[in-house]
Amino acid sequence: MSGAGENEAVKAYALEHQIAETELVFGLVGALGTDMERVSRDLHLGLEEMGYQAQEIRLSDLLREVEWDEPIDENAKLDSYIATHMDAGNRLRSDWGRPDALALLAAAKIAAERDVLLAGGVPLERRAWVLRQLKTPEEVQTLRDVYGSRFFLIAAYTPDDERVEWLNQAITTSRRSSDPANWDFQVAELLRRDQSEEPPYGQNVRDTFHRADLFVDAGREANLRPQLDRLLEILLANPFKAPTKDEFALFEANGAARMSAEPGRQVGAALVNEQGEIIALGTNEVPRPGGGVYREGSNEPGIPDQREFRFGSTEEERAVDTNDRMQREIGLEIADALKGGEREWLSEEVDPDELLTVILATRLGDLTEFGRAMHAEMSAILDAARNGRAVAGASLYVTTFPCHNCARHIVGAGIRNCVFLAPYEKSQAAMLHSDALDVARSAPDVAKVTFEPFVGVAPSRYAELFTWNRRKMDSGTLLTWDPGTARPRFADNEASELRQARPAYRVHEYLIMALLTRLQADPGPSLRAPTDGKG
């Protein structure tokens, strides 16, 4: 390589890594009816105050850029616009066989836009990309795989009643009619589809939301901008930003969840007093004689480890979760009762396995009372009782929304409020105990126990974002933090001597562009064809 060519290569290498030192990618997720325009606007303003240039990429725009067999009407009335784009997203994911299809398009768009800016000589240091908005867990995972720790998913929460009101008003304005009979699609159906459609290609905001790195309250009465500003200061390594009470408590609950070896899911709970001190921790695990639950390595004389995966006298019994086995046995009893007896309820031609599948697809398949594990909430409450710690007036932090059985005990224990991270669709708590608790309401009854979503830095990024090696110089002078020059700390930063010619995420983007070329070589997806993900 000539001297001039070598100098150009060195400059290109330096520029690539200079950009990588500060470049950020944000994904937004929020249930339908959340004012995502406000969330995006406030995020942009906060980034600008930190010296960043932010560029929004709407995934709905990318959807319309795909070559369909007929154009997507971007000027449709709002209810039709929402439903049409839901259908198009499902059909693209199904046609490509990729639940992460729109994440692939987003990564390719970022790469293309960056190349355009570089070609135009636009300075790209302190550049942020805002992806609005994500709908599937697979989209989130792909973006994490591509961008690593420079990717942050922001989940914006709005109370259910406010979302319904917002969407009704927005459709009324679009249709110029408040009569739902004049609308093509009803609010309830749109909200249901948004929350969760049939896997593997339907959208699933419910299962995407709790995978966020950062959670904000975007409700009508919430002061959104200070929340976002604080989170940005944390991302940009302000050494004097410490965890809130809620962040600390949920991190402890998340740690407790990791002690569970249950086959179904890991759940943790933390009881906290008004000062933010931990009263008790709980994990979903099988209770042991003498109190508490079985733990790893806790084989005591006369008390062998009998966690679920060790329970049963035969290998066959140990291979199946107790609750699943009991559900199946009850399902078989129902099937036998329908096919036997004096009255022939069902034809002999009915396939027994198919019948059992249908039975277990009912709410019978949601029953949890035959599991041997004590739920994390109950584990925490009983741990406090066993150690003589009062729980009246305490706050409970849980990694998953409580089931209806735990909810009634939370109410009965005198716990003041419950903060949860992930939803639990099997729970009937809100319906069975509407007299005693309020779930995610904009104006909860102060006399009731409130169940509210978590706001702050997710437990999954807690240690990374709140660990500080240095807050002062050797002289004792405190370090200063300048928002206009502060740089993010990336957990997966490459050592300078190990860097490739291009940062790893840039290579990933070009690999995705090559993949999209292959996917788009086939005939375009059809807006008429049915898909597995259609709601």
Which alpha helices (DSSP H) does 197-271 contain, by range?
A: 205-209, 224-235, 245-257
Domain identity same for 285 and 328: no
Instruction: Fill in the amino acid letter for 535.
Output: G
Judging by DSSP bridges, how do beta strands 127-132 and 24-30 pair with one another? parallel
Give the range of the structural domain holding residue 411, as residue numbers without chain letter: 249-296+372-454
- Flag whether pLDDT at 499 surpasses 70: no
Phi-psi region of 374 (alpha: psi -120 to 50; beta: other; left: phi over 0): beta
Verify that 178 and 322 share a domain, yes or no: no
Distance CA 157, CA 346 (A): 47
Please answer whether residues 82 and 32 qualify as being in contact, where contact means their C-beta atoms are separated by less than 8 angstroms: yes
**Angle in degrees, 0-180, between the axes of helices 78-96 and 187-195, rounded to the nearest 10:** 30
509 band by pLDDT with thresholds 50, 70 and 90: very high
Q: Is residue 476 part of a domain?
A: yes
31: pLDDT strictly greater than 90 = yes
Instruction: Report the number of distinct structural domains present in the chain.
Output: 3
pLDDT band at 13 (very low <50, low <70, confident <90, very high): low
Q: Which domain-ending residue is among 345, 366, 387?
A: 366
- Does 267 share its domain with 140? no
Identify the band that residue 18 occupies on the pLDDT scale cut at 50, 70 and 90. confident
pLDDT value for 10: 59
Q: Which residues pair with 397 in a beta bridge?
A: 270, 419
Q: In the prediction, which pLDDT does 1 show?
A: 54
User: Could you tell me if residue 7 is inside a domain?
Assistant: no
Instruction: Assess if residue 446 is contained within a domain.
Output: yes
Q: What is the mean pLDDT of residues 107-135?
A: 94
CATH number at residue 493: 3.40.50.300
pLDDT band for position 354 (50/70/90)?
A: confident
Task: State which of 366, 391, 410 marks the end of a domain.
Answer: 366
Average pLDDT over residues 241-258: 97
Assess whether 119 and 45 both reside in one domain: yes
For residue 333, being part of any structural domain is answered with: yes
Note whether 95 and 80 are same-domain residues.
Answer: yes
Same-domain pairing of 213 and 115: yes
Mean pLDDT of 434-454: 87
Per-residue confidence (pLDDT) for residue 535, from 0 to 100: 43
Q: Are 55 and 127 in contact (CB under 8 A)?
A: yes
Residues 154, 270, single domain; the answer is no
Residues 161 and 32 occupy one common structural domain? yes
Q: Does 143 reside within a domain?
A: yes
pLDDT per position as a tens digit, 450-463 = 999 999 999 999 99
Instruction: Please tell me whether residues 52 and 157 are part of one structural domain.
Output: yes
Weakest-pLDDT range from 16-25, 375-384, 438-447: 438-447
Contact between 384 and 279 under an 8 Å Cβ cutoff? The reply is yes
Q: Is residue 304 part of a domain?
A: no
Q: Where residue 534 falls among pLDDT bands split at 50, 70, 90?
A: very low
Is 306 domain-assigned?
Answer: no
**Predicted confidence (pLDDT) at residue 220 exceeds the cutoff of 80:** yes
Q: Regarding predicted confidence, which is higher, 16 or 500? A: 16
- Is there a single domain that holds both residue 353 and residue 218? no
* Percent share of the chain, pLDDT over 90: 64
Q: What's the burial of 322, exposed, middle or buried (CB within 10 Å: 0-12/13-18/19+)?
A: middle
Run of H or E residues at 127: strand 127-132
Average pLDDT of the residues in 203-216? 96
Same structural domain for residues 201 and 217?
A: yes
* Average pLDDT for 233-240: 94
Report the pLDDT value the prediction gives residue 492, as an integer from 0 to 100: 76
Residue 494 in contact with residue 504, Cβ under 8 Å?
yes
Helix, strand and coil in the chain, % to nearest 5: 45, 15, 40
Choosing from 403, 420, 454, the residue where a domain stops is 454
Look over the chain and give the mean of its residue pLDDT values, rounded to a whole number.
90
Does the pLDDT at position 274 exceed 50? yes
Residues 139 and 165 in one domain: yes
Question: Which of 125-139, 286-300, 390-404 has the least mean pLDDT?
Answer: 286-300
Grade residue 156 by pLDDT with cuts at 50, 70 and 90: very high
Query: Does the structure show a pLDDT above 50 at 185?
Result: yes
Residue 449 belongs to domain with CATH number: 3.40.140.10
Question: Is 139 a domain residue?
Answer: yes
Considering only 115-124, 206-215, 224-233, 242-251, which range has the smallest mean pLDDT? 115-124
pLDDT band with cut points at 50, 70 and 90 for residue 2: low
pLDDT band at 153 (very low <50, low <70, confident <90, very high): very high
